[in-house]
């Protein structure tokens, strides 16, 4: 089973969100199951070649793009901590300057410049395949970045696309794509003068899957389909949902070097030190009787800020501490800043940056984790939170529905609310405050979360089955 896994993000080389985590954890799990899987990404400017040793294996390969000949080089590295090979394509003009996206949160995916980067990456992958001795049977594409690959790939390759988030589609003006790729318009499925990369992936991939069972069903509806529900409907029998796992070696409270004190479900009291030290570094009162509510993630509408900010405003009257780590939409940064400044500067800590070390400290020191998403394909933060003993407060949608089980004594691992509105979220927050006063209940909740098996193994087996289906039945 030879698979080329094509991704726009890959941890730890270049990470913005969950796609990077999945790209770093799923291939090693498939490798363990016997697949010869290799990853290919752009060699972005931010990738530190001092930190990640790499070797140039191909140079000066020509790629036609926008009517011009461009040269690319191919580097080879090993995914840290494992044996999976990573290919990195270098090209100064389109791929190798700066970070992954023009924006901080992937929302720039419809820009012409973004098309140039990922359109160029797509055709470069195909050129690399012409020059590489190793040949995959399957090209595993991910999200809009690689949306045109299933359409453009020669038919001897089988293709599968994983949709990590349907909201980001790569919607480009038709003439931009047509002039860059020098292809006949007839092979595309333009809509309102636009070619939509993710739509092409949906219509052209051998198989399609998304990152939870619940989201696979939701995206067939108008509410969650982001305008692509009818296209997905035509591919319904080839569409499936496989829940993401976590890299349980990386996200491991027993060994994590980013946290203040390691702990496990068997010595959970050691966790308290993480809370105390987190309070200290954030400038909070060092009081173990005050619950900390944490959030880590992209600041986007998806993550629920429109209900979270007003709900927090009411909550902060209570004895609470709130820490937010994230970057993205400046609008939400301003709203959060205004609200923190207005009232309760000492109780809320805002950190508008990307900081993996701080993220781990928040997971290990918070009591509760805020996941009020409007929609959530899978979501990793609730799983990481649970693994580190923080109790998620989550809306029942997408992957949150599949992973967070509402606490009804003695079962459950989180607090779940149904509707995307302030009232339901506030009720959930109040329930959290009540549970916080009943230490035994809280301990049960923490332990239930920490006991869940979040490893990739089960899910990787399902991907393996999809690969088999692609090879043997298509």
H/E element, 313:
helix 305-315
210 in contact with ligand ADP (CB under 6 A):
no
Q: How far apart are CA 357 and CA 415, in angstroms?
A: 26
Angle of helix 18-32 versus helix 457-473 axis, rounded to 10 = 70
326 in contact with ligand ADP (CB under 6 A):
yes
Longest CA–CA span in the chain (Å) reads 68
Window contacting ligand ADP (CB under 6 A); options: 111-119, 267-275, 333-341, 353-361: 353-361
Least Å distance, CB 377 to ligand ADP, is: 7
Nearer to ligand ADP, 296 or 444 (CB): 296
H/E element, 27:
helix 18-32
Q: How far apart are CA 187 and CA 194, in angstroms?
A: 13
Nearer to ligand ADP, 323 or 442 (CB): 323
Q: How far apart are CA 159 and CA 208, in angstroms?
A: 9
414 in contact with ligand ADP (CB under 6 A):
no
304 in contact with ligand ADP (CB under 6 A):
no
359 in contact with ligand ADP (CB under 6 A):
yes
Nearer to ligand ADP, 333 or 355 (CB): 355
Window contacting ligand ADP (CB under 6 A); options: 150-158, 201-209, 372-380, 437-445: 372-380
DSSP assignment string, 45-78: TT--TTTS--EEEEEEEEEEETTEEEEEEEEEEE
241 in contact with ligand ADP (CB under 6 A):
no
Nearer to ligand ADP, 4 or 20 (CB): 20
325 in contact with ligand ADP (CB under 6 A):
yes
Q: How far apart are CA 232 and CA 356, in angstroms?
A: 35
109 in contact with ligand ADP (CB under 6 A):
no
**CA angle (237 as vertex; 234, 242 as ends), nearest 5:** 115
Least Å distance, CB 380 to ligand ADP, is: 4
Least Å distance, CB 373 to ligand ADP, is: 8
Peptide bond into 186 cis (omega under 30): no
13 in contact with ligand ADP (CB under 6 A):
no
Query: For ligand ADP, how many residues bind (rule: CB under 6 A)?
Result: 19
Among 161, 327, 397, 448, binds ligand ADP (CB under 6 A): 327
Print burial letters for 304-337: b (CB count within 10 Å at least 16), e (below 16). bbbbbbbbbeebbeeebbbbbbbbbbeebbebbe
Nearer to ligand ADP, 136 or 297 (CB): 297
Least Å distance, CB 321 to ligand ADP, is: 19
Least Å distance, CB 17 to ligand ADP, is: 2
Q: How far apart are CA 148 and CA 24, in angstroms?
A: 22
Contact criterion met (CB below 8 Å) for 392 and 385: yes
427 in contact with ligand ADP (CB under 6 A):
no
Cβ count near 81 (within 10 Å) = 12
- Give the distance, in angstroms, between the CA of residue 174 and the centroid of all CA atoms in the same chain: 28
Site map for ligand ADP, 21-60, x if CB under 6 A? x---------------------------------------
Among 25, 259, 296, 311, binds ligand ADP (CB under 6 A): 296
Contact criterion met (CB below 8 Å) for 142 and 19: yes
Q: How far apart are CA 135 and CA 129, in angstroms?
A: 7
> Which structure tokens are listed for 463?
């991907």
Residue 42: strand pairing partners? 89
* C-alpha distances in Å from residue 306, one per residue of 145, 309, 336, 340, 373: 28, 6, 11, 15, 10
Nearer to ligand ADP, 17 or 245 (CB): 17
Among 103, 252, 356, 406, binds ligand ADP (CB under 6 A): 356
Local structure of 6: helix, strand or coil = strand
Window contacting ligand ADP (CB under 6 A); options: 225-233, 257-265, 348-356, 431-439: 348-356
Among 8, 17, 392, 398, binds ligand ADP (CB under 6 A): 17
Least Å distance, CB 425 to ligand ADP, is: 18
Least Å distance, CB 358 to ligand ADP, is: 7
Identify the CA nearest to 135 among candidates 32, 63, 62, 38: 38
First to last CA, the chain: 15
Residue found under tokens 């692609």? 470
364 in contact with ligand ADP (CB under 6 A):
no
298 in contact with ligand ADP (CB under 6 A):
yes
Among 147, 294, 379, 449, binds ligand ADP (CB under 6 A): 379
Least Å distance, CB 207 to ligand ADP, is: 22
174 in contact with ligand ADP (CB under 6 A):
no
Window contacting ligand ADP (CB under 6 A); options: 264-272, 281-289, 319-327, 335-343: 319-327
Least Å distance, CB 454 to ligand ADP, is: 12
Binding residues for ligand ADP (CB under 6 A): 17-19, 21, 296-298, 325-327, 354-356, 359, 378-381, 384
């Amino acid at each position: 089973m030879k698979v080329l896994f094509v991704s726009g993000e890959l941890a730890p080389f270049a990470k913005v969100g969950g796609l990077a985590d999945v790209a770093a954890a799923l291939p090693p799990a498939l490798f363990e199951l016997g697949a010869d899987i290799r990853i290919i990404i752009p060699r972005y400017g931010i990738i530190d070649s001092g930190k990640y040793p790499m070797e140039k294996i191909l140079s000066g390969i020509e790629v036609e793009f926008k009517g011009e000949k461009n040269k690319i080089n191919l580097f080879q590295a090993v995914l840290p901590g494992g044996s999976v090979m990573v290919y990195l394509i270098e090209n100064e003009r389109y791929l190798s300057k700066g970070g992954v996206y023009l924006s901080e949160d992937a929302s720039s995916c419809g820009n012409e410049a973004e098309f140039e980067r990922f359109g160029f990456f797509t055709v470069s992958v195909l050129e690399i395949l012409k020059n590489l001795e190793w040949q995959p049977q399957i090209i595993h594409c991910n999200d809009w970045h690689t949306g045109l690959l299933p359409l453009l790939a020669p038919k001897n390759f089988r293709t599968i696309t994983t949709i990590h988030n349907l909201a980001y589609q790569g919607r480009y003006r038709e003439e931009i794509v047509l002039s860059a790729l020098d292809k006949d318009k007839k092979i595309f499925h333009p809509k309102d003068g636009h070619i939509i990369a993710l739509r092409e992936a949906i219509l052209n991939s051998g198989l399609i899957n998304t990152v939870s069972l619940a989201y696979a069903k939701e995206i067939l509806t108008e509410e969650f389909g982001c305008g692509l529900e009818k296209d997905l409907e035509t591919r319904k029998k080839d569409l499936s949902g496989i829940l993401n796992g976590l890299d349980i070696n990386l996200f491991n409270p027993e060994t994590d070097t980013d946290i203040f004190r390691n702990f496990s479900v068997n010595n959970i009291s050691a966790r308290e030190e993480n809370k105390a030290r987190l309070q200290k570094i954030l400038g909070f009162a060092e009081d173990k009787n005050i619950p900390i509510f944490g959030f880590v993630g992209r600041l986007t509408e998806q993550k629920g800020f429109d209900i979270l900010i007003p709900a927090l405003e009411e909550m902060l009257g209570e004895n609470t501490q709130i820490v937010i780590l994230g970057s993205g939409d400046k609008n939400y940064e301003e709203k959060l800043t205004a609200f923190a400044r207005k009232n309760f500067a000492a109780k809320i800590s805002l950190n508008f940056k990307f900081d993996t070390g701080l993220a781990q400290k928040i997971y290990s020191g918070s009591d509760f984790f805020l996941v009020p998403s409007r929609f959530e394909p899978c979501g990793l933060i609730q799983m990481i939170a649970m693994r580190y003993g923080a109790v998620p407060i989550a809306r029942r949608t997408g992957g949150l529905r599949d992973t967070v089980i509402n606490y009804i004594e003695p079962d459950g691992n989180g607090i779940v609310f149904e509707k995307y509105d302030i009232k339901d979220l506030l009720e959930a927050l109040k329930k959290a405050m009540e549970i916080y006063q009943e230490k035994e209940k809280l301990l049960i909740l923490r332990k239930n979360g920490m006991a869940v098996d979040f490893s990739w193994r089960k899910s990787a087996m399902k991907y393996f089955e999809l690969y088999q289906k692609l090879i043997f039945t298509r």
